[in-house]
Structure formats: structure tokens, C-alpha cells
């Protein structure tokens, strides 16, 4: 409940945003979205740009839509030479079971969870979406089937490596759990938009985004004061 945003105080992150801004100003990088008629994934698949940073979930889509004959591959997110690599954060949606339903509905929910937890279903899910298996049994099953050994799936195993690169005891793989996370992300997005679209000062804009996000966190803290969160 007493979480605080401090990304604006991270020298490497601030340097990274400044680098991105300089690349953008010098036409080395462009912003692509539906508003300009082509998303960055579509631009990459069409061969209109050389590099994108995106989720492994886009791997399948790129494989299906890439320009014929295009030679492409994947790599871990780049780091600065003097930086220590940490595990990337897991993303994606979650499935929740809520209170207040019948025994029959809970049995159905349990049956569904048991179904999607099967290694065979992990293979189906990873094949059609590009996302990674969420259980070791699914990952081992995919390897046993040779899933990562051939196109168009080769390279997706890098996502597993990226998620598990940190040594034991590193807090990075634990992910982000914040009250009002969606609203916090919106404030960060607004701060980045101010930098790239309105030419706002990088440090000042990040400071402002962190301040607005922390106001949301304090509101969440007050709302759930003295509550034991699950």
C-alpha cells in the first residue's frame, strides 16, 4: 500500500528516454500507430522499418503477415554496455474466479483451468498466439515436441530466457503489482507523449508523470487503509 514510483530517479531510464527522443528528433526512429495508418508491427512486417521493440505475442502475427522473402529474427531487449541485465516483466491478461457463484459454476471453472493447464493446450496456445507457456510442464512439452527448433516458432524461446535471466534473489522477476495500475500507466503514457509530441523536457515530464502516478497510489492507499490485501 505504501508503494512509490521512482522511475524518474533512475539514471539509466532517463538516459534511455533521452536517447529515444534524440533518435526521434533525428528521424532515426518514428512513432507508428493506427492514427497514422500503420502500426509499428505492421510497419515491421511490411519491411518499412528494421527494428521494433514488442511483445513475443506479436511473433505469430508477424510470421503470418511478413513480406514474402523477408529475413527476420528476434533478440532480447538491448541493454547499455555498463548495465546489468535483469529479467523482463511478465505481461498478459489474467483469469480470475470471483465469489458469489454456485458450486456447479465453480466446478466448471475448475474444469476449465485444468483443461488449459494441460501441456497439450500450452502447445496449441503458443502455436496460435505467440505467447509463452505459463507452466514448466508446458514449456518442457513444447521443447520435447521440437516446437522451438523450426520456423515459424524458432526464437520464441528467447522470451523464456528473458523472463528468467535474473539470478535467484533478484526482485525483478516478481513483476509489478500496484493499485490503479492502468491509471498509473496512463499517466506514464501521457508523460511520454508530452516528450515526443509536445517536445517537453524529458526529466521534467518524467518527474511530473511520477508525481501524478504517486497521487493515484496515495488515493489507493487511503481507500484500502487497514485492509489486508490478497
> What gap in Å lies between CA 223 and CA 227, rounded to an integer?
9
Kindly report, residue by residue over 214-229, the tens digit of the pLDDT.
Answer: 999 999 999 999 888 8
* Assigned domain for 4 exists: no
Residue 15 lies in a domain: no
Q: Domain limits at 126?
A: 20-176
How many angstroms separate the CA atoms of 51 and 56, rounded?
Answer: 14
Q: In this structure, is residue 14 part of a structural domain?
A: no
pLDDT of residue 173: 61
Tell me: the pLDDT tens digits for 21-58?
999 999 999 888 888 889 999 999 999 999 999 988 88
What are 178's three cell numbers?
A: 500496484
91 in Cβ contact with 55 (< 8 Å): yes
- Residue 49 belongs to some domain of the structure: yes
Residue-wise pLDDT for 135-156, tens only, equals 889 999 999 999 999 888 888 8
> Is residue 213 in some structural domain?
no
* 92 has a pLDDT exceeding 70: no
pLDDT band at 5 (very low <50, low <70, confident <90, very high): very high
Distance CA 155, CA 75 (A): 8
* Residue 93 located in a structural domain: yes
Q: Is 80 part of a structural domain of the chain?
A: yes
What per-residue confidence (pLDDT) applies to 163? 86
Q: How many domains does the chain have?
A: 1
Amino acid at each position: 500500500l505504501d508503494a512509490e514510483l521512482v522511475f524518474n530517479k533512475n539514471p539509466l531510464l532517463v538516459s534511455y528516454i533521452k536517447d529515444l527522443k534524440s533518435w526521434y528528433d533525428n528521424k532515426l526512429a518514428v512513432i507508428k500507430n493506427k492514427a497514422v495508418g500503420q502500426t509499428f508491427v505492421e510497419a515491421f512486417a511490411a519491411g518499412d522499418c528494421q527494428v521494433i521493440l514488442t511483445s513475443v505475442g506479436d511473433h505469430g502475427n508477424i510470421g503470418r503477415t511478413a513480406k514474402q522473402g523477408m529475413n527476420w529474427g528476434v533478440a532480447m531487449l538491448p541493454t547499455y554496455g555498463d548495465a546489468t541485465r535483469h529479467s523482463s516483466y511478465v505481461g498478459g491478461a489474467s483469469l480470475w474466479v470471483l465469489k458469489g457463484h454456485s458450486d456447479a459454476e465453480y466446478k466448471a471453472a475448475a474444469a476449465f483451468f485444468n483443461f488449459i493447464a494441460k501441456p497439450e493446450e500450452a502447445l496449441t496456445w503458443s502455436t496460435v498466439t505467440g505467447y509463452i507457456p505459463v507452466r514448466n510442464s508446458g514449456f518442457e512439452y513444447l521443447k520435447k515436441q521440437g516446437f522451438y527448433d523450426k520456423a515459424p516458432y524458432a526464437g520464441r524461446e528467447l522470451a523464456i530466457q528473458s523472463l528468467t535471466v535474473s539470478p535467484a534473489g533478484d526482485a525483478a522477476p516478481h513483476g509489478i503489482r500496484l493499485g490503479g495500475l492502468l491509471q498509473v500507466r496512463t499517466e506514464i503514457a501521457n508523460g511520454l507523449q508530452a516528450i515526443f509530441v509536445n517536445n517537453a523536457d524529458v526529466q521534467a515530464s518524467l518527474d511530473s508523470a511520477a508525481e501524478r502516478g504517486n497521487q493515484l497510489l496515495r488515493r489507493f492507499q487511503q481507500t484500502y487503509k487497514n485492509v489486508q490485501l490478497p
